[in-house]
Amino acid sequence: MGNRKILVVAAHSDDEALGCGGTIAKHVDNGDDVFVAFMTNGVAARGSDDGSDDRHVASKSALSILGVKKAFRFDFPDNQMDTIPLLSVTKEVEKVISELSPDIIYTHFSGDLNVDHQITHKAVMTACRPQPWCSVKEIYCFEVLSATEWNSKSLGTFLPQKIVDITNQWDRKTSALECYAQEMRAAPHSRSYEAVEALAVLRGQTHGVPRAESFYVERIVE
């Protein structure tokens, strides 16, 4: 289709590569402009901000590989976004949406274990209230290994409804994840390279393609 504006709203840098790195690259391949907003620096919860510069450099490299046009970076407290009024978070998301007028947004699933993911999702849905002035016609939620599948099964379960074939973009997704090597874990672990590939193979081959990313559909307006 091409010429669409895509916004990915992620709690932490590396969530975008884990959740929809291949889809980002595919949008770019199709001629769309992709933007990413990071809500936290992703390191403060470790007891020090010393790694923030490294994380920033890693994300710049990853976004370059994926073809992202511009990144917006906010400084909400890592793993403590629930201590901030939702309105404050929503206003920052609204500013980005007002500047870009995106057609499509990708963000976190509401049922993720990570509290920053939950707040980010709520802020996006609040900022994208379906009113006549809202440019956003499609909202999709991605799955992030070590967050989406780790939450209580008594809560809403991630049920993939949209499948994106990322076979041709797989190498770029893995290259982007390699930029975040410090955030990855050794197998057996949900956030290992092996687990990421296993999920891509599962999502793909259960839908007739080699590798895919899957999404929960929040909104489609045609």
How far apart CA 161 and CA 156 sit, in angstroms, is: 14
Max mean pLDDT among 42-56, 90-104, 145-159 falls in: 90-104
- Structure letter (DSSP) for residue 184: -
Quick: pLDDT tens for 8-31. Answer: 999 999 999 999 999 999 999 999
Q: In angstroms, what CA-CA distances link 210 with 175, 196, 199?
A: 18, 14, 11
**Mean pLDDT, residues 83-89:** 98
pLDDT-derived band at 7 (thresholds 50, 70, 90) equals: very high
In this structure, what token pair is assigned to residue 199? Answer: 């999920």
Nearest one of 80, 206, 203, 105 to 149, comparing CA atoms: 203
- Cβ burial, residue 46 (10 Å; 0-12/13-18/19+): exposed
> What φ, ψ does residue 72 adopt, rounded to 5°?
-105, 135
Q: Is the pLDDT of residue 46 over 90?
A: no
Nearest one of 136, 14, 38 to 92, comparing CA atoms: 38
Quick: pLDDT tens for 54-74. Answer: 889 999 999 999 999 999 999
Quick: pLDDT tens for 109-164. Answer: 999 999 999 999 999 999 999 999 899 999 999 999 999 999 998 888 999 999 99
Domain at 5-220, CATH from 2.40.37.10, 3.40.50.10320, 3.60.15.10, 1.10.600.10 = 3.40.50.10320
Q: In angstroms, what CA-CA distances link 144 with 58, 98, 200?
A: 18, 27, 12
For helices 170-179 and 52-66, the axis angle rounded to 10 degrees is 170
Per domain, the residue ranges of the chain are: 5-220
> What φ, ψ does residue 106 adopt, rounded to 5°?
-115, 135
Per-residue pLDDT at 50: 55
pLDDT-derived band at 41 (thresholds 50, 70, 90) equals: confident
Residue 197: partners with Cβ closer than 8 Å, 6 or more residues away: 174, 211
Total residue count of the chain as it appears in this document: 222
Q: Prior bond to 102 cis, omega within 30? A: no
Per-residue pLDDT at 45: 54
